[in-house]
Amino acid sequence: MVSRVIPVDPFDLVIFGGTGDLARRKILPALFRRFCAGQMEANSRIIGAARAEMDDAAYRDFVRDSIAEFNTGRQACEAGTVDGFLERVGYVTVDAMGEDGWEELATRMRGRDVVQAFYFSVGPSLFGALAERLHKHGMAGTGTRIVVEKPFGRDEASAKDLNAVLAEHFDESQIYRIDHYLGKETVQNLMAVRFGNMLFEPLWNSQYVDHIQITVAETVGVGGRGDYYDKSGAMRDMMQNHLMQLLCLIAMEPPAKFDPDAVRDEKLKVIRALDPVEPGDIVRGQYLGGEGQPDYRTQVENPDSKTESFVALKAKISNWRWAGTPFYLRTGKRLRAKVSEIAVIFKETPHSIFTEDAGRHRNILTIRLQPNEGMDLGVTIKEPGPGGMRLVDVPLDMTFADALGPEAEDIPDAYERLIMDVIRGNQTLFMRGDEVEAAWAWTDPIIAAWEEKGEAPKPYDSGSSGPEDALALLHQDGRRWRDIRV
C-alpha cells in the first residue's frame, strides 16, 4: 500500500510565536516533513515572527536545530534537503502588542498571489491583538486564514469573548481552531470505519453497545507547565477539548456528506444532547510522588493546590441512538502507561447456547490513538484442541505498522495533516466557534460545583491507574475499566 502525496497550492505561512516551544517541537518539523514529501510548491514560504531580535540567517539556524532534534524516528530526507527547506524560511521581529515590525511583515506579504495563513502559536491573551494588527496592516483579506491553538478560553464567557474578538476581523470560515487529536490517522479512520462499512453502523447504538470507554493516559507529570496547569487542571486541559472531540466523533449521527459544516453540525448536536454530570458520576485525582518523581503539589510549587491531574466521569447522551448507553471518560497524568484509546464494548449475546464452562464473552472494538496506532475487534472463537467447547477471545488486528509495513512509518503526524488542511481550506477537522462554546457550557457547571465544595482531589500513586474512587465509578454499574497498558 502506497500513500499518495497531493501538493497543496503555494502558500505563505507566518508563525507568530515562531521561536516558541510548540513551533520548535511540532510545527517546524511537521512543515519540513511535508517539504520532504514533495507537498510544498516551490513558491511557498514560512516566516517566523516573534519578539526575539534575529535576522533570517539566525532563524534558519534555529529551524535547522529544531529539525535535527525533533525530526527523529522518521524516514530521513535526501542529503541537502534541509538546505532546500531553509531557503524558504524567513523571520521578522514583531511586537504583538505594539507596532514594531508590522510594516516589515506586511511588506513581505504584499503582492503575493498565494494562500496566506497566520498561525497563532501564542497565548490566547494575544489573539485579539494579532487579529487587530493583521487587519490594520492590510493582511486580513477575504482569503486569509488564521490558526489558533488551545486553550480557547477557560470557560464559556471567555470563549465567547475570544470568538467575538476574532469575528471583528475574520469570518468564521477563515478561523481554524486546532486540536491535534483530530489530526491523528486513527481518529479519521474512525469515521471511515463507521460510515464506510455496512458492518458497524447498524450496530452503533444503544441496542447493541453496552458502554464506551475513552482513555487518554500519560506517564509524565506537569513538568515545566506547572504554572499554567495549576490554573487549568485536567478538566480544562484535556477533558473539555480532546476527549470531548473523541466523544463527538464516536457518538455523532452520519452527516449528509463529508463536508466541514455537515460534520461539525453533527458534533454540535452531540454536545447539546449531553446530560449534566451527576455529582456521584465524576472523580478528581491528584498524583502523589513516587518512582523518583515529586508529587503534583511540589511540581506546581503550590502546597495547597486543589487542582486535579486526573478526572474520570460518566456521560449520558439524551437522544434516540444513545439513550441508556453510558460513556466513561478518563484522563490523567503520571499513570501506568501512555495510552490513548476508545473502546466500544458491545453487549453480550441475548442467549448463550454454551455451558457455563465456556465463560462469558463479548465483542470489543478498540481504536488505539497511541501508541501503535490502529484498531482491533475482539471476536469469540473456539479454543483449539480437544476437550470440549472452550471459548476464547482473539483480536482481528489492524495495527498500522503491521498492515502497512514501512509505509506506516511515513504516515503524517497530526500537525502535518492539519497544517496542510489549513492551506487547502478544509475545516472538517477543526472546531467551530459554537462547538467550543457548547463544550464550555457543559463543562462550566462541573468546575463551578468543584469550586463551591472546595474539596481536594483524591490522591493516587504515580504509576497507577488513578484513584480508587475512579474504579468504583464503573463498579457501581457492574462494569470495570480496561487496563491501562501499552
Residues with a catalytic annotation lie at 242
Which has the closest alpha carbon to 63: 105, 1, 111, 18? 18
Residues facing 116 on adjacent strands: 12
DSSP labels, 438-452: HHHHHHHHHHHHHHH
Q: Of 439, 447, 123, 483, whose CA–CA distance to 308 is shortest?
A: 447
Spatial separation of the C-alpha atoms in residues 312 and 33, rounded to whole Å: 36
Q: Which residues pair with 176 in a beta bridge?
A: 147
Q: Which stretch of DSSP H or E encloses residue 283?
A: strand 282-287
Inter-residue contact 272 to 295 (CB < 8 Å):
no
Cell triple for 459: 490522591
Bridge partners (DSSP) listed for residue 46: 13, 89
Evaluate whether 217 touches 340 at the Cβ level (below 8 Å): yes
Residue 303 preceded by cis peptide, ω within 30:
no
Q: Is 397 left (phi over 0), alpha (psi -120 to 50) or beta?
A: beta
Using alpha carbons, select from 448, 453, 449 the residue that is nearest to residue 154: 448
Cα–Cα distance for residue pair 314/318, rounded to 1 Å? 13
Which contiguous run of DSSP H or E holds residue 194? helix 185-196
- Give all strands (DSSP E) within 44-190, no chain letters: 45-50, 89-93, 115-120, 145-148, 175-177
**Cα–Cα distance list, 89 to 11, 12, 43 (Å):** 12, 10, 11
Q: C-alpha distances in angstroms, 264 versus 108, 199, 256, 430? A: 35, 24, 11, 9
Residues facing residue 87 across a β-bridge: none
**Amino acid type, 288:** L
Please state, in angstroms and as integers, the Cα–Cα distance from residue 466 to each residue in 287, 292, 476, following that order: 8, 18, 17
